[in-house]
Structure 1
């Protein structure tokens, strides 16, 4: 694994676009590039014609030589739209001593966008907080990607997660399914995030949820602090960390298991990701989901 996938190193690079490029270059150099078959541009192999295949893909020279019908396949899939959804509610300001959740999400989102653009996919950005959504319609060109990086840099988490605001109209898209990547800490008061995911699911999109948590949330290690404040409501609570730690970890494990089961029941891909975790696993998950989409 490249050291450039270490989030501490990445976030020391202030230029988000440069960081994303270095991340993806390091990632691509470190993997065995599996061939993605589809209807793209780079020729890969022939296969026998099957009823229902696009006749435009028939290779007539092969037919002339063999008296059999063959289809030309390629290594690059048909382009799709990838929409990156960012939870920008105040809880994303949570800090584990090195950086905030939103910092990690910003760099992860930029890396995913760069990788998708490299594959020829159209990229869109949606930032959700308070009662609104900032949106950038999915497009595929370098200038659009540069604007997306700029908007990622401008995100300032605030308030609560947005309430439903024309979700269906905003995310209906084209007749084709799209890949939606949601970066969130899943902090919600009245199932507002669950309602969003149910709406997106009803539109038959492919959805990946990255549940972003910090290390001190996993371990209940807040360096002696015993007073905790809800970043979205302002409510405070005092606890004895040592006494509470075992019960906390048990309840957290139950919560994460229930969350995973709930989303998988909805056919939504889910994984937790910690803000000290290298980005390669998230990128692998993206490629795995990306390869499922066949149109």
Structure 2
């Protein structure tokens, strides 16, 4: 099986590097391998997916379940962990609406979301967690319920690789309510989207719906650098990718006001998410993938 060398693995955390790969399975594995290589410098020193399908032997466990090969390597007793012992059920929600197709350079927001979703799926299944997937815009286009069998990764990655940008307008809040009613059993919800075009109160109401059903929630708000900093130069005509409306302006005339407005919007979201115990993180399409993966791992360690 093709795996990156340890000396090269960290480069696969760079979006511009993994985007050269065509196979999403390779992208997912290489991102996770690069992530794990760096964990020895983190609070997760010693973390490994090697024994993710095992747990330590406890008094009362059936000794026939002891994995003697693992004992031979570690001098410790581990037993095989079965599907019904899965730690958590996670649902990854990926926004495929029109505006996710934007890129000022490098990969689009949708491509970044798909790569991150693939890596998270790979990591979750390696840990024997159950993972499901929803692709949405103004409606849910595809939903795969959580499963924890190792073979499920191929099905998930196949669906993720087919994710296509829709022309529909993003209505994240509406979809959040729909999904919250669809998956009432408490678990982990990972939302990959962009909060840029909706009223903050409506977004927060959608997130509260998940919290009402006792879901733990992580929001990765995926932005192009220009979404965040408005680093356009010269006179430009801006075209809304969801409505095709046009606006002609000199970027420098509105840049400062735009940044202040965006900063205020995200500070409100972060503060309110914190109050309802929802993890919120802005992620740029130029950010290395270890940053959101670490955020997920911290959440998982804290809660499960």
2:194 aligned to 174, 181, 185, which one?
185
TM-score, length basis structure 1: 0.81
**2:176 maps to 1:167:** no
Q: Which residue of 1 aligns with 2:298?
A: 288
Q: Which residue of 1 aligns with 2:163?
A: 155
Q: Which residue of 2 aligns with 1:221?
A: 231
**2:220 maps to 1:210:** yes
Q: Which residue of 2 aligns with 1:80?
A: 88
Shift of 1:189: 3.8
d(CA) in 2 for partners of 1:104 and 1:261? Answer: 25
Shift of 1:202: 0.9
Shift of 1:73: 10
For residues 242-280 of structure 1, give each alpha carbon's deviation from its aligned partner in whole angstroms, at most 9, with x where no partner exists: 122222222221111111112112211011000000001
d(CA) in 1 for partners of 2:233 and 2:24? Answer: 30
Shift of 1:141: 1.9
2:259 aligned to 217, 229, 249, which one?
249
For residues 230-252 of structure 1, give each alpha carbon's deviation from its aligned partner in whole angstroms, at most 9, with x where no partner exists: 22222222221112222222222
Say whether the 8 Å CA contact 1:184–1:211 is kept in structure 2.
Answer: yes
Say whether the 8 Å CA contact 1:40–1:78 is kept in structure 2.
Answer: no
Q: CA 1:192–1:87 in 2, change beyond 3 Å: closer, same or farther?
A: farther
**2:33 maps to 1:20:** no
* Number of residue pairs aligned between Structure 1 and Structure 2: 267
Q: Which residue of 2 aligns with 1:68?
A: none
Q: CA 1:25–1:182 in 2, change beyond 3 Å: closer, same or farther?
A: same
Bigger fraction of residues in helix = 2
1:42 aligned to 49, 55, 62, which one?
55
2:151 aligned to 124, 140, 143, which one?
143
Extract unaligned runs of 5+ from structure 2. Answer: 1-8, 64-76
d(CA) in 1 for partners of 2:54 and 2:198? Answer: 47
Q: CA 1:155–1:223 in 2, change beyond 3 Å: closer, same or farther?
A: farther
Shift of 1:148: 0.7
Extract unaligned runs of 5+ from structure 1. Answer: 47-54, 60-71
d(CA) in 2 for partners of 1:281 and 1:42? Answer: 27
Q: CA 1:15–1:252 in 2, change beyond 3 Å: closer, same or farther?
A: same
Q: CA 1:187–1:246 in 2, change beyond 3 Å: closer, same or farther?
A: closer
Shift of 1:288: 0.6
